[in-house]
Amino acid sequence: MVKFIILFRYPEDAAAFENVYQDFLGLVERMPHIQRRQVVHITGSPLGSPDAYRILELYFESTQQQQSALLSEIGQEAGKELQRLKRGSYELYFADVYEEAGAQTSQPEPAAQSADS
């Protein structure tokens, strides 16, 4: 599974941000191939005032489906809507997703020893 992450910085004008964000989100919800959508509202930081305001994560089954969604007509329209926000007010990331069961990280298999060792 892969995801497309949009990290939104704290807006100068929250009302203006929300207007653009809601229009953008309406388009995102119509994009093909999205398996899961997760919105994270940042409430604070142990290091003081947070720079991040919100994170939107879009999950896809594969990189190909992600690319297809982003390059679709509705994906391109969503991208243009996002560009209405001030430059530098958001960051975009692609990520691989690894799910862990039971809160334990699996250990990699030890490398096979060669006959020369």
Using the structure block, give the residue that is written with the tokens 């704290």: 10
- Residue 81 contacts residue 30 (beta carbons within 8 Å): no
| Among candidate residues 69, 89, 76, 82, the one with its CA nearest the CA of residue 19 | 82
Tens-level pLDDT at each residue, the chain (117 residues): 999 999 999 999 999 999 999 999 999 999 999 999 999 999 999 999 999 999 999 999 999 999 999 999 999 999 999 999 999 999 999 999 987 766 666 666 676 655 554
Structure-token pair, residue 50: 């947070």
pLDDT given at position 104 = 64
Task: Give the per-residue pLDDT at 91.
Answer: 97
Identify which of 81, 68, 65, 64 has the alpha carbon closest to the alpha carbon of residue 27.
81
